[in-house]
Chain A
Amino acid sequence: MSLLPEEELLKRQRERARLMAWLLGAFVILLFLITVAKIGLHK
């Protein structure tokens, strides 16, 4: 595996961290909507 310059490594880590934050946020919203929909189904 090729060695990458430190700047490139940090850029990748930042990109992944930002993406992970977006995905976690979307997951929380999705879980909320699933809960609302399931409650609606069982009413």
Chain B
Amino acid sequence: MAPSIAQTPPPADWRDLVALTKPRVMSLVVFTGLCGLLAAPVTLPPVLGFTAILCIALGAGAAGALNQWYEADLDAKMRRTANRPLPARRMDRQTALHFGVGLSAFSVILMDLATNHLAALLLAVSILFYVLVYTVWLKRRTAQNIVIGGAAGAFPPLIGWVAATGSIQMLPVLLFAIIFLWTPPHFWALSLFVRSDYAAAKVPMLPVVAGIENTRLQIFLYSLALAASAVLPYALSLTGYLYGFSAAVLSAIFVGLAGMVFANRADQPSEMGPEKRLFGFSILYLFALFAVLVVDRWIAA
């Protein structure tokens, strides 16, 4: 006998399926992927460029959906994530799993059809890295979760470049390194003022495991490494003066804000102004750095 409509799980609202893809995170992924594509020395026909960026966005969305499928129990324990579709019980887990796996396969196949095998392979690796290495393996086990897992978020400019050129060169590798080194100070600044959330969910974020002072030191050290990697494209003559000057100024501000975080001794979130400022600026930093890179490359071309 066919199940009645009341016995079958309610179909998920399409807005909840969109929420599974973490649209806010996706905006940064799409932007950096687009910058990788636009900075490349080869110009793709617009429809192929659009499809490449669409695939990067869908791949990131699929990884986000699989992350939420696996972490529904963790998300339920944190204020910031408790209203997501799975912890709020607006959707069953199987729907999220099918949606994530289906979208992953679709994005990789479409990338392969529209661009090239290497770009599709990199997209598949980035999805698998985020889901298997970061979400399943590292996140609940080590305080270095963000450091190694950050590589997943560093793939988009590399994929964008490879979609256009079909090969990996020095500049997109440096763009990968910039996002890789940007991720720890960005997330650790956030984790300092939402530390109680992570502690309640038993996620071993650095402030929970190693303490606030040590986290502030690590943020400062990583900001120095980030600044060095940000000016490297200019130092290696891969970009022009505009990028070199902008990278130096933006990185100096970043290091300055990280220095203020390092100097802060407060342990209450309400007194963590420097951490909140660094977190906010870090997003602007990445957007500005990549936008200037594209303008610089266009001027050079």
| Residues of chain A at the chain B interface (Cβ within 8 Å) | 1-4, 6, 8-10, 12-13, 15-16, 19, 30-31, 33-34, 36-38, 40-41
Contacts and interface: CB of A to CB of B under 8 A. Distances in A.
Contacts, number: 44
Interface in B14-48: 14, 45, 47-48
A3 B10 contact: yes
- The interface centre, meaning the residue of A1, A2, A8 with most chain B CB atoms within 10 A of its CB, is A1
Contact of A40 (B6, B45, B51): B45
Contacts of B90: 1
Contact of A34 (B5, B14, B47): B47
A18 to B, nearest CB: 9
B113 interface: yes
B45 A30 contact: no
B14 A16 contact: yes
How many chain B residues sit at the interface, stated as a range, is 10 to 19
B117 to A, nearest CB: 14
A14 B292 CA distance: 45
Given A10-B5, A12-B12, 14 more contacts: A1-B89, A1-B92, A3-B10, A8-B10, A9-B10, A9-B11, A12-B11, A12-B13, A15-B13, A15-B14, A34-B47, A38-B48, A38-B114, A40-B45
Interface of A: prevailing SS: helix
A13 B13 CA distance: 8
Contacts of A34: 47-48, 51, 113-114
Nearest to B46: A37
B11 A37 contact: no
A43 to B, nearest CB: 12
B10 A4 contact: yes
Contacts of A40: 45
A31 to B, nearest CB: 8
B3 interface: no
Contact of B45 (A13, A16, A41): A41
A6 B6 contact: yes
Nearest to B45: A37
Interface string B42-73: 00010110010000000000000000000000
Contacts of A41: 45, 48
